[in-house]
Structure 1
Amino acid sequence: MIRDKINKILDSLPEEELNEVYWSISYIQENYMFKKNLFDKGVGMKGLYDESEEIIEMWDKTFTQNISEAEKEEIYYEQYKWHIFSYKKQDCLIEEKARKAFDTMSKDEIYVMYEGSPIVSLYTNAKVVIAKDFDSQHDIYLFDKDFTWTYIHTHESMCGPYFYEVN
């Protein structure tokens, strides 16, 4: 029934509008496949609406503790937190070394946040997730509940992924 409605809408659009529809549907499918993959692995996902602001502040405090406000401004930290790694203000593992480090970490429960989103999620039963599971995601930050490590997959193919462990 819904497919017929969608087809009717598509049939009514001029050819030049279909490209926009295609990219919208591709995005929806990619997001669905990302969530389905995690669901199929038994990973639980819960939005932490009340605690999110505090968790984001704790990420900032923990992973940028040795970076001054002036340095943050210089690297456009407010635009992308991961600039602390791309501008080499924070030592970290990159690319395959970052992916392998994330894959080997203990991660029964992890926090997940996206750049610019005010909502943090808690992924439970996450021990089976690997870096590859997040390759379709952009500007995603994953970190343990104790804030001892973070893994970031950016929207830039030449930046990251990054893995940082607090010493």
Structure 2
Amino acid sequence: MQRGRRKERGNYLAYGAQQLLVEVRTETGNWLGGRKPLSVTKMVRSHLVDRRNEHIDEGGATLGHRRRNEMELFHQLARRNIKIRKQSGFGAQWRQQWEEVFAGHLTEEEKQHIHLRNRNGVNGYLWHVFSYGMRGCFTGEEAEMAFDQEEKTCCYLFFQHGDDAFTVEDASGLKAADLATENDKIDLYVVDSEFNWTFVMTHESGWLGPYFSRR
């Protein structure tokens, strides 16, 4: 993606031809840059989409790279003797169920405001319900600790983009560290089979995420 030179234009920032305005807060509730916006919001890298290459997601990963990253995670868990199997075609279904459980309290207007779904050339992310402070959660190391300490049996793993998903039949020994890959440009959602809790790793983890929340 060509971001171009960063320029101040009025009360927002623009990168070259990309001029998408989005509202983003950190886990601390402070506006990025430490400045309260006036009547507009600040644009950040994770929400830019190059319309000439729509197969490139906001984390900078192409479709091929994304699939390789997903399979890298699959084989990584298998090498750690974690029993895992691929669930082709379950991604969309589980994303929909996740939205109903963890973002079902939001109105359609609120979902549009926080870019929960793809809209007008901007990729949406379900985890925006956490980054925008619309649902309580643990973040960062606290999220990882909560996930590690959660009693786990069967878990589902799915991604923001793509239809493939994974099932871990016995996740009792699954830890946050097991889910970290060399290439972190994936948005991974982990839930128990009843969707009572979720652990989310984002392509912005370390800045936005990871997150852990209970139903």
Alignment TM-score, normalising by the size of structure 2: 0.59
**In the TM superposition, what is the alpha-carbon distance from 1:125 to its structure 2 partner?**
2.1
Residue equivalent to 2:188: 140
1:108, 1:102 → 2: CA distance?
Answer: 12
Structure 2 CA distance for aligned equivalents of residues 152 and 142 of structure 1: 6
CA-CA distance at 1:129 after TM superposition: 1.2
Is 1:98 paired with 2:147?
A: no
How far residue 82 of structure 1 moved from its aligned partner, in angstroms, is 0.5
2:54 maps to which residue? none
Secondary structure at the counterpart of residue 47 of structure 1: strand
The Cα of 1:29 is off from its aligned counterpart by 8.8
Correspondence list, 1:1-167, <5 A: 32=72, 34-49=73-88, 51-78=90-117, 79-136=124-181, 137=184, 138-156=186-204, 157-166=206-215
**1:17 aligns to what?**
none
In the alignment, residue 96 of structure 2 is paired with which amino acid? Answer: E
CA RMSD of aligned residues (A): 2.5
Separation (CA, whole Å) in 2 of partners of 1:139 and 1:112:
10
RCO higher in structure (CA 8 A, sep ≥6): 1
- Aligned residue pairs: how many? 141
Q: Which runs of 5+ in 1 are unaligned?
A: 1-23
1:111 deviates by 0.5
Structure 2 unmatched ranges of 5 or more: 1-63, 118-123
Number of the residue aligned with 2:61? none
- Higher helix residue share: 1
| 1:62 aligned counterpart, secondary structure | helix
Q: Which residue identity lines up with residue 110 of structure 1 in the other structure? A: C
- In 1, the alpha carbon distance for the partners of 2:152 and 2:192 equals 7
CA separation of 1:30 and 1:46: change in aligned 2, threshold 3 A: closer
Q: TM-score, normalised by structure 1?
A: 0.74
Residues 133 and 147 of structure 1, relative CA distance in 2, 3 Å threshold: same
